[in-house]
Structure 1
Amino acid sequence: MKFELFRGDSGVYFWLNGLAAMAFSFILPVMSLFLIEGLGIEPMYIGLYTVGTAIATILISQVLGRLADRGIDSKTLLLISVGFLCLAALCFSQLTQFWQAVIVGWCFMAFGASSIPLLLAMIRRFAERSGKDSTKLNSQMRSSVSLVWIAGPALAFASVGTFGFRANFLLAASIALLVLVMVWRLLPSASKAVKPETSHEIVPPFPYKVWFLGVGILFANMANSTYINAMPLFITKELNLPVSYPGIFMGLTAALEIPVMLLSAAWSHRFGKMKMMMVGFIIAIFFYTGIQYASTVEWLLALQLFNGLFYGIFVGLGITLLQDSAPKRVGQVSAFYTNAMSVGTMCGTSLMGFVAQQYGFRNAIYISLAAIVISLGIFLAVHLNESKQGKVSELQSPPV
């Protein structure tokens, strides 16, 4: 068996991706619980934190992605982002008021979250330089994230339940500091030389396909983020299960994602990325429908199979699908992808808080069901349009 993924330059990116995900896994899954139980806010105010953080992340990541595309050293930009992630985690461990959390989220966490598109763009450029299959490499790198999330959320909720929120965020800060040192010591400078004769070339705008697919990805992540934020509170508040159970469910889903993610590259070569994404959305429809009727731990555990299939396909192919649509703007497309995910999180979390306040956390997951149906409709429309254009091109082509 070969272990090329864990060695050399591929190994560096794999472990960096995984450790960065570990830092986030000790922050993001427990954030809604922290805001409600740790800071004592009403569920509807979760959206204020999420909306502001998402908007700030969108602006900052887009600027950093543009700088990377213009030749600024990506390693330097990544060091700055990871440094802010470490600082954000330290601040979360100390704050006691909601307004403090808002400032930390909007200012520091936004920079920290911008490390994700920078890593994605660096991985894509590494694939191009080394001649590797970008779809396969992206799926492999994303599998490190899922591998981490098998244990990360479970450990985070266990940490909160045993030691409290402060210890949990200090652990996140320590992991982010380790990532910072690894980036500094192990990654080469990644500036893109700009040739004088080509420095005035006009970079083509995003194709319309990128915008439509981005909206589809936005709604798909809106569905997932609504579930992720509602599920811990639904499990602990409405089903009265222990606080460690949400982490177990998230870990099980992550374990199921990994083989799906690694296989998604091969499936996409055989059936096409668009078709595989739509299959994933159909599976998600079954999952979110099933959640409405789940009342036992066994039922919830069984449903995680559908969630793992959906999310493994979704995150395994989504970034490559967009990068392939605008290969000359990898930095900005990667930022656009994470921004679409962030806006989806923003919308999903905001609506979840409002609906949960009025109708309960289980009913909030109806938002997920509606959002995933919209995603399926958008991807189906793009696919049908491409098929129609392909047939027109064949008819217009002169006979050989």
Structure 2
Amino acid sequence: MHTPIALSRRLPDMTSAAFLAIAFLSGIAGALQLPTLSLFLSTEVLARPFMVGLFYTGSAAIGIAVSQFLAGRSDRKGDRKQLILQCCLLGAAGCVLFAFNRSYFVLLACGVLLTSFGSTANPQMFALAREHADQTGREAVMFSSVMRAQVSLAWVVGPPLAFALALGFGFKMMYMMAAVTFVVCGAMVWLMLPSMRKSALKTAAVLEAPRRNRRDAMLLFAACTLMWTCNCMYLINMPLYLIHELMLPEKLAGVMMGTAAGLEIPTMLAAGYVSRRFGNRLLMRIAVAAGLLFYLGLLVFTAPLALLALQLLNAVFIGILAGIGMIYFQDLMPGQAGAATTLFTNTGRVGWIIAGSVAGLIAEIWRYHTVFFVALLMIAGAGYCMWRIRDVDSPLPRDTRTIPLPEGPGNGNVSP
């Protein structure tokens, strides 16, 4: 027989477990959609390469508008739990639309709008988890990190599963599975997550210019934007390159994405550990070097085993960028943790907008293979920016830096 004290100790643990399960399932819902999107548009919607890229640009722009609207609204009024539930249901509706509709402009105007609400459920859930951790006395940073690991794990499983469903049973089945996952998430949110009064997150901040190290912060912004643009171009282009130019099995794209996501987890943990000794600037330079070798390898190697081996370099590239980039911004902008986090987040958003236009246009005029050459030039530009940044000693103790809430399904594989 359980005493009231024992029950009170168990209930927060059950709630925490629910947060972790929902984080994993919401990550799966996103990982079922993004990896196969370019293939879906090319084969099912019959969109040209330029229109495929334009779809990603439009998706990024709509996603930014939706996330900014909901972020401001959720911190001012209402119940965040209800908002997450509504986002899950709208995300499910968007997946159903993708399953049965093949009109390019209907999917861009309506489908992307609905799925953008669905993807926003993830950062809103992290915000609710932070409020729950603060209310129950849990260590917020560690709890958020464990939840982020669940999203990363979802991206290990999700891409191979997405390609298996799409190729084995069709895109209709794949999108319906994503819709079911959203519905299950919504049910768990309704039944298991707590409702709490609104409290604005301390990390939320209006974007403001750096008060110190402005030149270095802008160089870092340019470098991170170029690096994220390369990664987004890779995510858009890689499945079509493997299928249409190399004539390799479609499922290889999912295996490659899952392998990279799995390797990113230990890379991020290791980068966070060694940064205390070697500094963030050196690690970011290592990330640039890994990116150069990765995209050079994509231009040279075409064998499946070689492409899989290259994912180690991709994991180092994205793992360090995703894990250390934000901390480096905070080092360069002391006393502006919220603005620094916002600035770093915007590099990924801008990267998606640029990548959609550039990748589609290049593939339309030349070949998919040429996209990797342009990415290599962008990485070289990022390296030039990184080498011009001065060595700035960390002005803040590590435990005072803000841990950002995720904007997308996971690590480097950020959805538009």
The answer to whether TM tops 0.5 is: yes
Aligned partner of 2:371 in structure 1 is: 364
Are the equivalent residues in 1 in contact too, given 2:221–2:344 (CA < 8 A)? yes
Q: Is structure 2 residue 186 aligned with structure 1 residue 180? A: yes
Query: Which residue of 135, 145, 149 maps to 1:143?
Result: 149
How far apart in 2 are the matches of 1:26 and 1:248?
A: 13
Aligned ranges for residues 55-66 of structure 1 at < 5 Å?
Answer: 55-66=61-72
Aligned partner of 2:115 in structure 1 is: 109
Q: Is structure 2 residue 201 aligned with structure 1 residue 206? A: no
Pairwise CA distance, 1:143: 2.5
How far apart in 2 are the matches of 1:126 and 1:323?
A: 25
Aligned partner of 1:200 in structure 2 is: none
Query: Which residue of 139, 160, 165 maps to 2:166?
Result: 160
How far apart in 2 are the matches of 1:340 and 1:120?
A: 21
Pairwise CA distance, 1:342: 3.1
What's the TM-score, normalizing by structure 1?
Answer: 0.81
Are the equivalent residues in 2 in contact too, given 1:288–1:365 (CA < 8 A)? yes
Pairwise CA distance, 1:320: 5.7
- Which amino acid in the other structure matches residue 65 of structure 2? L
Pairwise CA distance, 1:56: 1.4
Pairwise CA distance, 1:92: 0.3
Query: Which residue of 222, 227, 234 maps to 1:220?
Result: 227
Cα distance change, pair 317–49 in 1 and its aligned pair in 2 (3 A):
same
Instruction: State the Cα RMSD in Å.
Output: 3.4
Aligned ranges for residues 282-321 of structure 1 at < 5 Å?
Answer: 282-318=289-325
Gap runs ≥5 in structure 2? 1-11, 397-416
Pairwise CA distance, 1:28: 0.6
Aligned partner of 1:396 in structure 2 is: none
What's the TM-score, normalizing by structure 2?
Answer: 0.79
Are the equivalent residues in 2 in contact too, given 1:69–1:329 (CA < 8 A)? no
Write out per-residue CA displacement over residues 170-194 of structure 1, whole angstroms, 9 at most, x where no aligned residue.
0011111111222222322354447
How far apart in 1 are the matches of 2:358 and 2:128?
A: 34
Query: Which residue of 230, 253, 264 maps to 2:260?
Result: 253
Cα distance change, pair 75–214 in 1 and its aligned pair in 2 (3 A):
farther
Aligned partner of 1:17 in structure 2 is: 23
Cα distance change, pair 52–349 in 1 and its aligned pair in 2 (3 A):
closer
How far apart in 2 are the matches of 1:221 and 1:82?
A: 27
How far apart in 2 are the matches of 1:253 and 1:23?
A: 18
- Which amino acid in the other structure matches residue 25 of structure 1? A
Aligned partner of 2:404 in structure 1 is: none
Aligned partner of 2:43 in structure 1 is: 37
Aligned ranges for residues 46-57 of structure 1 at < 5 Å?
Answer: 46-57=52-63
For 1:384, what is the secondary structure of its paired residue? Answer: coil
How far apart in 2 are the matches of 1:180 and 1:326?
A: 39
Cα distance change, pair 166–337 in 1 and its aligned pair in 2 (3 A):
farther
Write out per-residue CA displacement over residues 322-345 of structure 1, whole angstroms, 9 at most, x where no aligned residue.
688698886x87776555423312
Are the equivalent residues in 1 in contact too, given 2:159–2:258 (CA < 8 A)? yes
For 2:390, what is the secondary structure of its paired residue? Answer: helix
Cα distance change, pair 322–57 in 1 and its aligned pair in 2 (3 A):
farther
How far apart in 2 are the matches of 1:140 and 1:264?
A: 16
How far apart in 1 are the matches of 2:243 and 2:352?
A: 21
- Which amino acid in the other structure matches residue 273 of structure 2? A
Pairwise CA distance, 1:362: 1.3
Are the equivalent residues in 2 in contact too, given 1:84–1:112 (CA < 8 A)? yes
Pairwise CA distance, 1:312: 2.0
Pairwise CA distance, 1:104: 2.6
Aligned partner of 1:95 in structure 2 is: 101
Aligned partner of 1:233 in structure 2 is: 240
Cα distance change, pair 192–370 in 1 and its aligned pair in 2 (3 A):
farther
Aligned partner of 2:80 in structure 1 is: 74
For 2:225, what is the secondary structure of its paired residue? Answer: helix
Write out per-residue CA displacement over residues 210-230 of structure 1, whole angstroms, 9 at most, x where no aligned residue.
776555433322111111111
Are the equivalent residues in 1 in contact too, given 2:18–2:192 (CA < 8 A)? yes
Aligned ranges for residues 344-383 of structure 1 at < 5 Å?
Answer: 344-381=351-388, 383=389
Gap runs ≥5 in structure 1? 1-5, 195-202, 391-400
Aligned partner of 1:278 in structure 2 is: 285
How far apart in 2 are the matches of 1:95 and 1:221?
A: 30
How far apart in 1 are the matches of 2:93 and 2:327?
A: 31
How far apart in 2 are the matches of 1:206 and 1:320?
A: 17
Pairwise CA distance, 1:158: 1.2
For 2:300, what is the secondary structure of its paired residue? Answer: coil
How far apart in 2 are the matches of 1:389 and 1:338?
A: 21
Aligned length: 376
- Which amino acid in the other structure matches residue 240 of structure 1? M
Cα distance change, pair 68–97 in 1 and its aligned pair in 2 (3 A):
closer
- 97-106 or 335-344: which moved more? 335-344
Pairwise CA distance, 1:278: 3.4
How far apart in 2 are the matches of 1:131 and 1:99?
A: 46
- Which amino acid in the other structure matches residue 90 of structure 1? V
